[in-house]
Amino acid sequence: MPDYALMNQLVFEGNQAEVKSLTEGALDEGRDVKEVLEEGLIAGMKVVGEDFKRNKIFVPEVLLAARAMKAGMSVLEPLLTACDGDAQRDVIVMGTVKGDLHDIGKNLVGMMAEGAGFTVVDLGTNTSAEEFIAAVREHDALILGMSALLTTTMVYMKTVVDAVKEQGVDVSVCIGGAPVGPEFCDEIGAHGYAADAASAVQLFKRLVAARNSG
């Protein structure tokens, strides 16, 4: 059994090399990729968030922890994005909204969506409504996925939804990120909300199926 408590501690300490090595070790032991992600990496980042909130640690430490988390994710990425077959892939355009630089959750959603057979066009962070819409048009995307981690940036999701409607863009808009929820989704008129990466993939599949049958 991998020492997930140690992995959590190493994420907290921002030890990139050790997090990478323990992540590889857990996979070598045959542990499930989602278990390693949830129990080894995300659980460590949760503690970082709690201590950050209580002013026990500050931005530089959080940044180091984020790098360590990404080092572990880089090991999991080939497994999360692996997908059988080369059928026509539906396109999702995804980004973190304007003003917001958090990208770990958005990246995870993207990896798992690729693993489920979607093509993900990742616009990165700090993405404007214009950039989202231009990418949807360019790639003929069926889904526009937005992530926000700040209460100050989640409101920008409505700006994007409004722009999509005003410009008559035919795309299903999905939102996620720690401060948003289903009520906010309804309030801004988005098509769907998901709490985590696995349910985001289920949501994308449901919306695409509904579009195809509609």
Positions touching ligand B1M (CB under 6 A) are 42, 45, 48-49, 52-53, 59, 62-63, 66, 99-106, 108-109, 145-147, 149-151, 174-179, 194, 196-197, 200
Select 50 or 86, whichever has its Cβ closest to ligand B1M: 50
- Give min distance, CB of 137 to ligand B1M, in A: 19
What six digits make up the tokens of 49? 């968030």
Select 115 or 177, whichever has its Cβ closest to ligand B1M: 177
Cβ atoms within 10 Å of 94's Cβ, excluding its own: 29
Select 17 or 63, whichever has its Cβ closest to ligand B1M: 63
Helix and strand element counts for the chain (H, E)? 10, 5
What six digits make up the tokens of 165? 């409607």
Select 22 or 154, whichever has its Cβ closest to ligand B1M: 154
- Give min distance, CB of 12 to ligand B1M, in A: 10
Query: Which 3 state secondary structure label does DSSP give 96?
Result: strand
- Give min distance, CB of 25 to ligand B1M, in A: 21
- Give min distance, CB of 200 to ligand B1M, in A: 4
Question: What DSSP character marks residue 68?
Answer: H
Based on its alpha-carbon atoms, the radius of gyration of the chain, rounded to whole angstroms, reads 18
Select 22 or 173, whichever has its Cβ closest to ligand B1M: 173
Question: What DSSP character marks residue 37?
Answer: I
Q: Give the span between the Cα atoms of 192 and 122, in whole angstroms.
A: 19
- Give min distance, CB of 30 to ligand B1M, in A: 23
Query: Which 3 state secondary structure label does DSSP give 122?
Result: strand
